[in-house]
Amino acid sequence: MTDHNDSDLPEGQYKLRLFITGSTPRSTRAIENMRRICAENLEGRYDLEVVDVYQDPEATKDLQIIATPTLVKILPEPLRRIIGDLSDRERVLAGLDIAPLGKGDHE
């Protein structure tokens, strides 16, 4: 994508929403991965909501969710959806438009 500059972190709060399906193994993994990524890269400047589509199916409508788990970056713009259990860290960081912190460009 754009340049992978170490110090080039976007300014401002991150508003994230993670859609899951109850306590399935994949959903559970998605939650764990998400928390780790946030803690390592967005410390103190993110706002994460986890939505169980079993409990609140209507919540999928606005953000046009078609499958779970799906992570949605609402802010900063542009809006991005990342599907799956979020175990591919690189892909997630790219989707969030964040360069990995203190690690090389490649794992």
Strand 46-52, strand 14-20: pairing: parallel
Q: Which stretch binds another protein (CB under 8 A): 6-14, 42-50, 66-74, 99-107?
A: 66-74
Q: Which of 68, 92, 93, 100 contacts another protein by CB under 8 A? A: 68
- Binding of another protein at residue 20 (CB under 8 A)? yes
Q: Which of 15, 26, 35, 89 contacts another protein by CB under 8 A? A: 26
* Distant-in-sequence, close-in-space partners of 13: CB < 8 Å, separation ≥ 6: 45, 46, 47, 75, 76
Distance CA 101, CA 36 (A): 13
The residues that touch another protein, with contacts defined as CB under 8 A, are 20-24, 26-27, 53-54, 57-58, 60-61, 65-69, 78, 80-85
